Structure 1
């Protein structure tokens, strides 16, 4: 018996062109899913698709701004039935209340919160009509504890956590499971770019400092997040809904 098989399942993954989204897309495809990547960066999405196809998997990319509901609905109409939705697309912002502009706040809300809502709005009626489905939302430890200078980002991930619980409750009897993952720092190209932009000449020291902010002493790997996502979207997790899973190297419970 093959554990965690996604054979014959259709999986929609937002932000699948890089980082955690790319790792999830590749792993799901290797487990038999037909992967649909919704991504603003068309070149990055195409690269992920090419890698999946070269490895023998099935994938297709769709260029889309998830904050635009009209675009999202059109893409879901093209995709058709979706067994799995992974709301992974998101952007970060550094700042506390007083140095978070209205434009910055709105941008974070539109992409991180409204983007997830738009995909839920498009996917859930289809899942209900087809007799069930699985939703996995990417939250963050920022939804669970206070993180310095992450006001708008924390707001958005707190909303993701709350939406996860609401969807899990509302669609419990429609055989739709909904859970979330809350990572701590994960080593992605975004992290490297953030350090290079904000700490030129100090890259190595800052990377070490950020790594050690996790009690386990390092950042997570995208593949580790993808492995948890695979379990939660598999039939083996059929008894799990309405849960958030910190994957954080001990950050939430052990960082005293």
Structure 2
């Protein structure tokens, strides 16, 4: 039951990449609780199976283990999902990784790994799912960007480059797919406490910087992202496209 039909996404089919843990898993849970059928994705079959088992009692959930940086795997698994589960209404490109190192010491292989995981995967998944959304003339694609789509800290220049690229990919996808009734937007988290950021949260100096730099005075909790996600996935955003909705406690708004 929703307070407004504008936000009703019950019965929609959502595919979320990188959803076996962290922010992706939280997004999956949020869409399940909103009544969506959710397809989880990840490369680690054991971790994916655990997430599938944990989320199963909440709603209708499936799991597909495949590499979203592999074009052939993307094509095969998107086809299989549509055949076995149904037409994908919502695609959330969440897969991402990080590597911190000074620019002059940054290894080539980690540059290419970040580009592939954070940017190429969204292009491959968006292209393949859009090929099926376009004839249906409807669909929502949500790319998980970052405050680093706009700004950067020392040691993460390649990561920021991938997230800045994802912001512009979002706008380009909007330009190409908007005439077919598809909305493409970004969701930009600030600093969030997850199992993947435990070391940063535990670093009191860094944690104090986050709290002091954020007008809300705290780290984000994954539940803070759900409302924005549902808005971007629902009819409420049918005239919103090419935007990045930052959920950052106000961080980007202040010096």
TM-score in terms of structure 1 length: 0.91
Aligned equivalent of 1:72: 74
Gap runs ≥5 in structure 1: 197-201
Alpha carbons 1:67, 1:115 under 8 Å: kept: yes
Match for residue 24 of structure 2 among 8, 21, 24: 21
Counterpart Cα distance in 1 of 2:211 and 2:18: 24
Aligned equivalent of 1:161: 167
Match for residue 43 of structure 1 among 42, 46, 66: 46
Q: Secondary structure of 1:145's partner?
A: coil
Aligned equivalent of 2:248: 248
Counterpart Cα distance in 1 of 2:171 and 2:236: 20
Aligned equivalent of 2:64: 62
Are positions 1:146 and 2:149 aligned together? Answer: no
Aligned equivalent of 2:130: 124
Are positions 1:218 and 2:192 aligned together? Answer: no
Aligned equivalent of 1:199: none
Gap runs ≥5 in structure 2: none
Alpha carbons 1:42, 1:61 under 8 Å: kept: no
Q: Where in structure 2 are the equivalents of 1:85-96 lying within 5 Å? A: 85-96=91-102
Q: Secondary structure of 1:54's partner?
A: coil
Counterpart Cα distance in 2 of 1:18 and 1:211: 24
Q: Secondary structure of 1:85's partner?
A: strand
Alpha carbons 1:26, 1:48 under 8 Å: kept: no
Aligned equivalent of 2:236: 236
Are positions 1:32 and 2:32 aligned together? Answer: no
Q: CA shift at 1:122, angstroms?
A: 1.1
User: Higher mean Cα deviation, 127-136 or 209-218?
Assistant: 209-218
> Aligned pair in 2 of structure 1 residues 49, 222: CA closer, same or farther (>3 Å)?
same
Number of residue pairs matched? 248
Are positions 1:103 and 2:109 aligned together? Answer: yes
Counterpart Cα distance in 1 of 2:100 and 2:252: 20
Q: CA shift at 1:245, angstroms?
A: 1.1
Q: Secondary structure of 1:171's partner?
A: helix
Q: CA shift at 1:206, angstroms?
A: 4.0
Alpha carbons 1:95, 1:152 under 8 Å: kept: no
Counterpart Cα distance in 1 of 2:193 and 2:120: 26
Q: Secondary structure of 1:249's partner?
A: coil
Q: Secondary structure of 2:56's partner?
A: helix
C-alpha root-mean-square deviation of aligned residues, in Å? 1.7
Counterpart Cα distance in 1 of 2:250 and 2:36: 31
Counterpart Cα distance in 2 of 1:15 and 1:211: 27
Counterpart Cα distance in 1 of 2:30 and 2:225: 11
Counterpart Cα distance in 2 of 1:218 and 1:41: 31
Q: Secondary structure of 2:142's partner?
A: strand
